[in-house]
Amino acid sequence: MADSPLATDRVRRRLEGKVAVVTGAGSGIGRAAAVLFAEEGAKVVCADISGREKEAATAIGDGAVPVHVDVARSDEVAAMVDTAVQEFGRLDVLFNNAGFGGPPHPLTEFDEATFDNLIAVNLKGVFLGMKYGIPAMLRGGGGSVINTASTAGLVGWKGKAVYAAAKGGVVQLTKSAALDFATQGVRVNAICPGMTWTGLASAAADGSSTPPPESRPPQPMGRWGMPQELAAAVLFLASDESSFVTGTAIPVDGGYVAR
């Protein structure tokens, strides 16, 4: 009996011949995803604002290019997508991952500048990524968008009202964009990470250090998530293995939102 398309995909590298853009690729989940995408055969644009995008691309080697980008600026996001097309000829996977949380405060203690910045990076950045990335995918016959939301976009988080609002917006952008392009070959999904060890405290910039045993976040599995575990979920959504999956917001959270 002939192998199914999915069985064939499992034999070869899952992103062979595809081109991916990863924002926030300088560290944490983005760095882990960029490395995994390359290992699975993709050409990768490593995009970041930190300056570590060059290091990330260099670590991957041939088939990766760095782009310095502020995801809240439309001209820079458009240029990022153009780089993928100019360097590699197409865009198949877009991982809108860049974001930040900031220190916790009661709602009334957030100033407007902090509100604007949180919304600009975490929500507007995802909007701009899709605005400029999806047309490039359509020109190539389709693709997969993965957005980084958060468990804070699914349930309330004390002290994180603005961040939670931005990530909740990411969930709804994801679902609505998935419907917009469901018949045009572009799938749009989100991951909702729980508390993940992404360079916090003494962890390395690539998130590879092991959290100390005494550090136990309030997740049912009793431990931190690791960037590589989040990247594995992103790879599934990027690959043809998830060809019938769109409009989802998948918790990858050690059971945090299951309670």
Digit-coded pLDDT (tens) for 127-163: 999 999 999 999 999 999 999 999 999 999 999 999 9
Instruction: Give the total number of structural domains in the chain.
Output: 1
| Residue 238 pLDDT grade (very low, low, confident, very high; cuts 50, 70, 90) | very high
- Asked whether residue 202 is domain-assigned, the answer is yes
The string of pLDDT tens digits covering residues 96-136 is 999 999 899 999 999 999 999 999 999 999 999 999 999 99
Does the pLDDT of residue 3 top 50, yes or no?
no
pLDDT in tens, 163-176: 999 999 999 999 99
pLDDT tens profile 52-84: 999 999 999 999 999 999 999 999 999 999 999
Catalytic (active site) residue 163? yes
8 occurs within a structural domain? no
Least confident window among 16-25, 90-99, 142-151, 204-213: 204-213
pLDDT > 90? residue 29: yes
- Which string of DSSP letters, residue by residue, matches the chain? -PPPHHHHHHHS-TTTT-EEEEETTTSHHHHHHHHHHHHTT-EEEEEESSSTHHHHHHHH-TTEEEEE--TT-HHHHHHHHHHHHHHHS---EEEE----------GGG--HHHHHHHHIIIIIHHHHHHHHHHHHHHHTT-EEEEEE--GGGTS--TT-HHHHHHHHHHHHHHHHHHHHTTTTTEEEEEEEE-SB-SS-TT--TTS-SPPPTT---SSTT-S-B-HHHHHHHHHHHHSGGGTT--S-EEEESTTGGG-
Note whether residue 143 is domain-resident: yes
pLDDT above 80: residue 212: no
Give the pLDDT of residue 45.
98
Q: Which residues, including other chains, have CB under 8 Å from residue 188's CB and lie 6 or more apart?
A: 130, 144, 145, 147, 174, 177, 178, 181, 246, 247
Residue span of the structural domain in which 121 resides:
14-258
Q: Is residue 6 part of a domain?
A: no
Q: Please give the average per-residue pLDDT across 28-44, as a whole number.
A: 98
Q: Which of 88, 95, 127, 163 is catalytic?
A: 163
Q: How confident is residue 202, by pLDDT bands cut at 50, 70 and 90?
A: very low
Looking at the domain assignment, is residue 51 inside a domain? yes
Predicted local confidence at residue 198, as pLDDT: 83
Residue 206: pLDDT above 50? no
CATH, residue 241:
3.40.50.720
Q: Is residue 89 one of the residues assigned to a domain?
A: yes
The predicted structure's pLDDT at residue 205? 40
In a domain, 4, yes or no: no
User: Tell me, what's the pLDDT at 204?
Assistant: 40
Q: Is residue 3 part of a domain?
A: no
Q: Is the pLDDT of residue 8 over 90?
A: no
